[in-house]
Structure 1
């Protein structure tokens, strides 16, 4: 049949003359958007009309309705256009002959598919746009509409940036699952998601698709990426079930964006977030966070900027973190029926409706069940009878979220799998002893195969059988490949993972014979043990531990008697301590202690080692009293049974000393750390890492007692020895660098301290990562160095960042968080909002009161700091009472010559003067100067502050000559020590009364 081509508009008059209505299936929206943009640039009016095909409306009527559209109707031909409904080719052929054939001039078409389409579609004479570039596709489009293909003027073409040519991928595309060619419906959700994101203000384009498990959130997000991806320059998919995985995958975007960074993923992550925020090099980006069920763990890492973030989650609490929400519910019945008929063409529409009702329209179950029903000769009625016949009290329901009893449905599916590829059932059951979600199957493929059960050894050792099992599970949508770029027939390469839905994981785990359970759990335990990197102190291996830890619970490793599995547990606890995962580590340690005491008894060496690691985590979490009770009992028992030179006893005693630090019992801790260092020296020599740990602990005990010169010498020796023994970037070496810089700062050597700490911070970030507690300790000290040196703006910004990350990582009551909160509140008092400082100070005192016993020096110091806030807001009497209490408590806790007590005295003398007691103020200042000179030296910054304060008190007593002499001598020493332009020198010259901020030293 010859087709008469009519120019656009010839069939209508007036406004329609310059109109083209583009009719397209939602699946092909990117093509419609691109064509519409190319036509609008040439002055045409374009109407985009998404084609829908309700099954209850005859096709002939739908096509006649389409003829009512304005102008020429351009149909985007694809298999999707003809499958909606779904309709048979025979139905389409009849409708096209009846409606289109008599009036071909109203219609034009372009084809974007190579798949089979109804033969009568030839009446549309579609121009083929597949397998060609954008310029040729545009030329053919224009030719089909009888429009001139003259080049557009540069000015017209450059007015705006239109959609990308759909056959061309975005500049950066990664991780997106393969497009689901069976995707059905969801048009309203997709359109709403698109408009919510497109209409968002810059920096606020965050949308969460939330809903129950199995409802199709991931498939919806993937379809969004394909349908609208041409409008973005960057589309990046991230598995966001775990914070560590999210961080790593987002960091992998750095080289794709052309960012110049080091190899450490923390550095790459920062660069990526900054590039997305700035929109440089790409402003049109789409980031998809899949499976982000714990917003509290991830919200701070969601990039801001001109692009869009699409989140899938079961948790609607994302709405509290600046995200719009879109509720994803099960299919409506029409969508369910259409999906089932596409998945299982042999089923009729009434059968599809019956099946959808039985499975409550849940997409995951529809996909799995329809898939195997299509391959089976079982009728839908028979299947539903089986399903309903199994619903009794013995059937396990998955959870309250799933009112339908799935156990029977899954039994049917598993039977089908057993009949075809029985190894696929073995593999599926094996996977349930990993955590649900991403299953690192390479751990199975890489483990030694000796002595494995026959069915598992055969599966792991035969690539063809392995691929066949994987593909069988994928065919029924039981698992999906995490490798999104591999072709379907490539199986699962050794470096890949498969994804097992949480619901599937739960059901399969309950439907397993006891003998399989025993065999499979042992296999997974061995796989995890074989994957143990073996060095929890090596930060380069922390990603590997982060991958292993979530699976420990599901493999029930705590009840294994395998020594390698037990060693894995200990290494994971050590890793969790190094990386600040204290809460999770404490839970694991508690369960492990209960299990191992039951397995081995109280006195087994493994139990003692486990107790040590558990106590470290407890202490780091701030549970000093609990830890002290545990370790004191262990120390006494080991001393009685093994003697004072036993290494387990010494290690427990070292932990006990750290507990004493936390409890404020510094003299007792010093006595213990001195003895331990001597014993370690005698037993192991000076250059053993355990001896150096003991030397480090001795230094910290001395610092807590204010003996800063001695501490500096010890920390320098420790640092240099660790550099020789452990090398420069070992965590312990980096820890010593920060300790050394703290000592320099506490001695008033601010410039030197800042130089050492700035370099160490860079190394910490590179080696430990930006949010590791040890890195935050280094950054906190750097901020304090900057503050003392006078770089107050830089210090303020860093104080705020450190505190926010401490709170997120360790919680608000951790000792390090509180130390950072003290610094932030002091900074706010002098350079920020005094009301904010007051609120922060009250919060710090309240948290210390909750955590610590009355009389603890940290509590006394925090109250002293808060007294300064009260002074600044005019509450003199309250401030005076509080500082006097602080001074008395601090004196009782650490003695009258401790720097902390001297600092409290400097503040107390100021308050005494302020409330009208200059004689008492001067007497306190005189005594403070004498003690400070004796303890810290004449030119220490705290001594200088005391001398300046004393001069002010003498002036208040009208002893002008003595005041002038004292002041001039102090100013001269200030200029010589800190420089004549240092902020302290300038302030003293202006006769501003000095103050002192208490700084808790958290262990």
Structure 2
């Protein structure tokens, strides 16, 4: 069988040269060889990796080294267990050779590895063949001379020079190494040139060195040349002449010509590898790059090698898993999570990972504290220069900046401008698009001259200082079409620290003006939110809060409004806090801008449930503005509107309604019925009416607001869409389920289209749609929507946001009836705990969450606990909103059921009777809540054996159910089956 003559060689990439030599020796003796580079992903159990290895063809030959066992990285304890459990029971499948003298796991003894170290190729081959039971008879001369295989790894090529020592901590880069190898091997004769291109510190030299050690056994000549300057390149290349045995004189030009001719002809060696390290100026040396049967590997920051018959291979920063593995080797005391955290802070740049992890491993500083140090800028005291990366990052970039100043000084000006944007992707097009009058002279020249601009950008690109990002992928002129540059965080810091004070003052003002000019000044327009999303990260770095320019301060206000409407609450609060601190110092405590800033800041705080804080802030603003400007001032009215919202959040609904109605009157008198501010005030009146349970009034106010907004704004303006959601909610709360679902379905489609699926307004609309489905009996659609809305809100707004708590309340109620009761209980308990932290004791939302939890307890059999909690909730809700509020009536429906459950039918009947009467009076006889109360009353009369009266009440209620909701509606069917009704508390938006 062919399998018997097959050997699969399993090897670490670090030991590829050994695998190639071993495979060649076996193939010469007629065996079929399969090469399998060993990988051991940390997320896959090691035993599973070994079992997968057993699926390979034929016998498995492991090339044992410390590298083989460190991949993952794995502990020796893991290896010992895996070798005993997977390899030991099946020894015939495995064989091994050892190519290391370092310690290996003790259980590796089961492999009985043949030691190939510290010996010549003949003895090594004999031991290899003996371990695999392959006859070691001499091969015929024709077979021995038929081809030249890979060199024995322990033997140096005939010519070897200048190669740096191997980095024993080299990590990852497998695909890059393989890509470089295949590009060189598949190149036509004379075209085997590959340029490894990337920014400083990305590890180009390390990658080239690893290529030499990994594939060097396939060459007879390996020569490493420092190619930074043409003069040094000529000298180093000329020094190869005597190594090749070329008869030349001492003059460098003569030696250089002889070397190039020898390499071109492949005489005396055709298998040669020339590494040109640091070749950042292709124009200086491209004409001296040898051609011929060999290969040239170039490391460069300059991508223009592609114009000189070179295949370009970009060397990016590490993949995150590579960063973590490298840090763990450099700093073994760090955990995977800490290594990931450090890699995130350093943006996976290998040189920085090496130097910072090395320093950190020798200190007892935590990763958090260390990152805080780095945030202040890289310092020589917090990096450790290793032999593998000998040039400290800061030093390397200082050298490069000096070189840029000498060649194209405008490129340094552009780079310094970039430091007043946030690191990463920098929208330099904003500099081009801003007005160019009154610019500093040195910047004006750069921005007004397209040729100079492109020259500066190209110079930065040539040295890989920046990477150009363009949305116009069809343009041939990359520099002209580029919209943003990518600048690494640490380069950003170094350039910023290296800047003269005069340049700092001029350049920061230029960037501030560029950001202000980019402000579209319509933060409520969703179509413009991407513009604000691009601007916001740069506010901090341009230090806009310390500017007194009115346009820049207006930009801050607009960014805060954008953050509020788009749901970026946490970032908006942080900006608002910083702005208040800066502007109070800059402008004074009572400057008009402070009150405007306070309004925007309070809106954001209120959105995360900080009602106590916002009430204090807004009340102070209201009192100051009323005293300073009078009660009819628009700024005062706006602050008072914020105070009314705070009162709603605190559960003080009567106060909120009184204030909201007075504000609506004032706006109408000042601005008229159709001004958007008047309509906003009208909207807030309706929101307060909903919280008071006055649903019919709320519906009429929301209808008028919706129609007016459609006429004044547009059909798809966010506020118009929000009015539609409010109108659909009112319809549902009134029991008009079909009408509500029709309006809400259309509204959600448009919310998603205009605002996106994750916007807070969209989530509110989808949540109401979930309830519409639920009330119509479509439990499957409702369940999917409830779960999805909660997941999105937790992810976008956070688990403690008021909206998230609303959605968690609904999800808990739904899965209590149609899902996992244990999950419902956990979610209900969590929601109550979070409400208790956010809101004061006695708040109606706390009482409502508890009455919902009482139903969970009922469902799991904890009757007494459920009864006690239900009674407490009824008492608290009555105190909070009064006995006539629909929430109180709902609590009473549940309390009567729990009284009946614990054996108190008289008290239950008394409560259900009064509840049905009040509900009829407040909501009308056919409202769903009233119908539930009437069914509950009939059930309690039946418990008291008053069957005649119970039957009469039940039939009347069923007739009203049929007339109102239809004979097949879920509520009608449930009532007909005499299921005891219950009520779920649903918090409303404040």
Give the TM-score normalised by the residue count of structure 2: 0.67
**Alpha-carbon displacement from aligned partner over 1:554-573 (angstroms, at most 9, x marks no partner):** 00001111111111000000
Aligned counterpart, 2:867: 880
CA contact (8 A) 2:576 2:597 kept: yes
Q: Could you say what secondary structure the match of 2:436 adopts?
A: coil
User: Please, which of 451, 457, 462 is the counterpart of residue 475 of structure 1?
Assistant: 462
CA contact (8 A) 2:689 2:695 kept: yes
**Alpha-carbon displacement from aligned partner over 1:272-326 (angstroms, at most 9, x marks no partner):** xxxxxxxxxxxxxxxxxxxxxxx99xxxxxxxxxxxxxxx9866799xxxxxxx9
Superposed displacement of residue 791, structure 1: 0.7
Q: Unaligned regions of 5+ residues in structure 2, if any?
A: 1-23, 38-60, 64-148, 161-183, 196-207, 213-221, 225-236, 245-261, 272-285, 296-308, 329-336, 360-375, 386-390
Aligned counterpart, 1:964: 951
Rate the CA distance shift 1:885–1:81 in 2: closer, same or farther, 3 A.
Answer: closer
Q: Could you say what secondary structure the match of 1:477 adopts?
A: coil
CA contact (8 A) 1:436 1:501 kept: yes
Superposed displacement of residue 329, structure 1: 5.1
What are the residue-to-residue correspondences of 1:62-461 with 2, within 5 Å? 76-77=186-187, 79-80=192-193, 85=212, 87=223, 93=263, 97=267, 121=293, 181=312, 208-210=321-323, 330=351, 397=379, 400=382, 406-461=393-448
Structure 1: distance between partners of 2:519 and 2:159: 66
Aligned counterpart, 1:933: 920
User: Please, which of 522, 528, 533 is the counterpart of residue 541 of structure 1?
Assistant: 528
**Alpha-carbon displacement from aligned partner over 1:526-579 (angstroms, at most 9, x marks no partner):** 000000011001000000000000000000001111111111000000000001
What are the residue-to-residue correspondences of 1:580-659 with 2, within 5 Å? 580-659=567-646
Structure 1: distance between partners of 2:773 and 2:316: 59
Q: Could you say what secondary structure the match of 2:869 adopts?
A: helix
Q: Could you say what secondary structure the match of 1:438 adopts?
A: strand
**Alpha-carbon displacement from aligned partner over 1:245-289 (angstroms, at most 9, x marks no partner):** xxxxxxxxxxxxxxxxxxxxxxxxxxxxxxxxxxxxxxxxxxxxx
CA contact (8 A) 2:625 2:636 kept: yes
Structure 1: distance between partners of 2:954 and 2:878: 27
The farther-off stretch of 91-100 and 926-935 is 91-100
Please tell me the root mean square deviation across aligned C-alpha atoms, in Å: 4.3
Superposed displacement of residue 13, structure 1: 13
Rate the CA distance shift 1:887–1:707 in 2: closer, same or farther, 3 A.
Answer: same
Q: Could you say what secondary structure the match of 1:481 adopts?
A: strand
Superposed displacement of residue 450, structure 1: 0.2
**Alpha-carbon displacement from aligned partner over 1:923-980 (angstroms, at most 9, x marks no partner):** 1000000000011000000000001111100000000000001111111111111111
What are the residue-to-residue correspondences of 1:599-998 with 2, within 5 Å? 599-998=586-985
Superposed displacement of residue 911, structure 1: 0.4
CA contact (8 A) 1:482 1:498 kept: yes
Rate the CA distance shift 1:488–1:772 in 2: closer, same or farther, 3 A.
Answer: closer
Rate the CA distance shift 1:55–1:709 in 2: closer, same or farther, 3 A.
Answer: same
CA contact (8 A) 1:397 1:406 kept: no
CA contact (8 A) 1:440 1:496 kept: yes
Q: Could you say what secondary structure the match of 2:486 adopts?
A: strand
The farther-off stretch of 645-654 and 88-97 is 88-97
CA contact (8 A) 1:864 1:886 kept: yes
Structure 2: distance between partners of 1:179 and 1:589: 52
Q: Could you say what secondary structure the match of 2:186 adopts?
A: strand
Superposed displacement of residue 407, structure 1: 4.3
Q: Could you say what secondary structure the match of 1:748 adopts?
A: coil
Superposed displacement of residue 848, structure 1: 0.6
Superposed displacement of residue 851, structure 1: 0.7
Q: Could you say what secondary structure the match of 1:703 adopts?
A: helix
Give the TM-score normalised by the residue count of structure 1: 0.67
**Alpha-carbon displacement from aligned partner over 1:652-688 (angstroms, at most 9, x marks no partner):** 0000000001100000001100100011111100000
Rate the CA distance shift 1:811–1:452 in 2: closer, same or farther, 3 A.
Answer: same
Q: Could you say what secondary structure the match of 2:439 adopts?
A: coil
Structure 2: distance between partners of 1:914 and 1:761: 41
Superposed displacement of residue 400, structure 1: 4.0
Q: Could you say what secondary structure the match of 1:492 adopts?
A: helix
CA contact (8 A) 2:706 2:720 kept: yes
Superposed displacement of residue 179, structure 1: 11
Rate the CA distance shift 1:634–1:100 in 2: closer, same or farther, 3 A.
Answer: closer
Q: Could you say what secondary structure the match of 1:977 adopts?
A: helix
**Alpha-carbon displacement from aligned partner over 1:14-56 (angstroms, at most 9, x marks no partner):** 99889899999xxxxxxxxxxxxxxxxxxxxxx9x9x999999
Superposed displacement of residue 602, structure 1: 2.5
Structure 2: distance between partners of 1:951 and 1:357: 79
Aligned counterpart, 2:550: 563
Structure 1: distance between partners of 2:151 and 2:830: 62
Superposed displacement of residue 476, structure 1: 2.0
Superposed displacement of residue 844, structure 1: 0.8
Aligned counterpart, 2:302: none
CA contact (8 A) 1:535 1:571 kept: yes
Superposed displacement of residue 12, structure 1: 13
Structure 2: distance between partners of 1:694 and 1:682: 13
Q: Could you say what secondary structure the match of 1:499 adopts?
A: strand
Structure 2: distance between partners of 1:615 and 1:358: 41
Rate the CA distance shift 1:402–1:664 in 2: closer, same or farther, 3 A.
Answer: farther
Q: Unaligned regions of 5+ residues in structure 1, if any?
A: 1-10, 25-46, 63-73, 102-113, 125-177, 194-206, 216-294, 297-311, 319-325, 333-355, 362-393
Structure 1: distance between partners of 2:867 and 2:499: 71
Structure 1: distance between partners of 2:836 and 2:897: 26
**Alpha-carbon displacement from aligned partner over 1:751-793 (angstroms, at most 9, x marks no partner):** 1101101111010011111111111011111101111111111
Rate the CA distance shift 1:23–1:952 in 2: closer, same or farther, 3 A.
Answer: closer
Aligned counterpart, 1:512: 499
Rate the CA distance shift 1:753–1:210 in 2: closer, same or farther, 3 A.
Answer: farther
The farther-off stretch of 909-918 and 598-607 is 598-607
Aligned counterpart, 1:245: none
Rate the CA distance shift 1:752–1:16 in 2: closer, same or farther, 3 A.
Answer: farther
Rate the CA distance shift 1:490–1:871 in 2: closer, same or farther, 3 A.
Answer: same
Rate the CA distance shift 1:534–1:16 in 2: closer, same or farther, 3 A.
Answer: farther
Which protein has the larger Cα radius of gyration, Structure 1 or Structure 2? 2
CA contact (8 A) 1:534 1:571 kept: yes
CA contact (8 A) 1:954 1:962 kept: yes
Superposed displacement of residue 419, structure 1: 1.4
Superposed displacement of residue 408, structure 1: 4.3
Structure 2: distance between partners of 1:465 and 1:489: 18
Superposed displacement of residue 810, structure 1: 1.3
Q: Could you say what secondary structure the match of 2:464 adopts?
A: coil
CA contact (8 A) 2:515 2:535 kept: yes
Structure 1: distance between partners of 2:630 and 2:355: 73
Structure 1: distance between partners of 2:573 and 2:310: 42
Structure 1: distance between partners of 2:945 and 2:600: 61
CA contact (8 A) 2:821 2:856 kept: yes
Structure 2: distance between partners of 1:698 and 1:458: 57
**Alpha-carbon displacement from aligned partner over 1:458-499 (angstroms, at most 9, x marks no partner):** 001111111111122222221111239869993522551111
